[in-house]
Each structure stands twice: as C-alpha cells, then as structure tokens.
Amino acid sequence: MDNTKKLKNLFTIIYILFIVSLLISIVSLKALGAGEGEGITNWLSNINISQKALGTIGLGFAAGGAALGIGILGRALLEGIYRNPQTTGAMLVWFFVAFALAEAQVLYVLFIVLAMLK
C-alpha cells in the first residue's frame, strides 16, 4: 500500500473517531439533563469529589498520552528527514498540525476538569 492510501486511511479513521466522540458527548449531555432546559453548570455542581478526583487523574493520563504521541511524532519526523531531506518543510507542517491536535486534546480535558473543580 502506498503512502497516499495509508494517509487516506488514517484521515478516515480520524474522521470516524471524531464523529463517534462527538456523538458520545451529545448523548452523555442529554442523559445528564443538559439538553432539557437544565444548564451544564447545574449538573457540574452536583458532581461529587470522587468524580473530580477521577477527572484530575484523567487529565494526567491525557497529558501522558499526548506526551507519548508527540514523542512518537518527533521520532517519525527525524526518521523522515533522515531518509528524505528535501521534504523537510512539508514534514514540519504536518508535524506541527499533529502536535497541535495532540495538545488540543489535553487542553479540552484541562478545561473540563477546571469546570468540574469550580
């Protein structure tokens, strides 16, 4: 399988995972009552301390996973530059896009945990 097919398959998987995570978020908010006139802050105030602790632990796992992913990205970038130095500019662009996506996931979890700790 050539690189373009691998890239298309990767983007297809990313799109599917994004849609599934979006649907899970919508269903969970509806189940918690946020879609029925009750605001999201009302059910956030009812979360007990053990759920807040689990959210903080989840933040740690998200940060660790992102760090692992960014390390793998860096290794792949260096291998790619070593194999084909002429494509350094294009590889750097995709590296920073993937880096930003990995960091964005951690920031989403951080904002959710901060909202829970309020």
SS3 80: helix
Identify which has the larger pLDDT, 11 or 49.
Answer: 11
- Answering whether pTM is above 0.85, one says no
Same structural domain for residues 96 and 79?
yes
Q: Residue 32 is part of which domain span? A: 1-46
DSSP percent split of the chain into helix, strand, coil, nearest 5? 85, 0, 15
Structural domains in the chain (count)? 2
Among 46, 62, 82, residue at a domain's last position: 46
For position 32, what pLDDT does the model report?
Answer: 54
Same structural domain for residues 59 and 32?
no
Same structural domain for residues 54 and 38?
no
**pLDDT digit string, tens, across residues 13-61:** 777 777 777 666 666 655 555 455 555 555 556 666 666 677 777 778 8
For position 41, what pLDDT does the model report?
Answer: 58
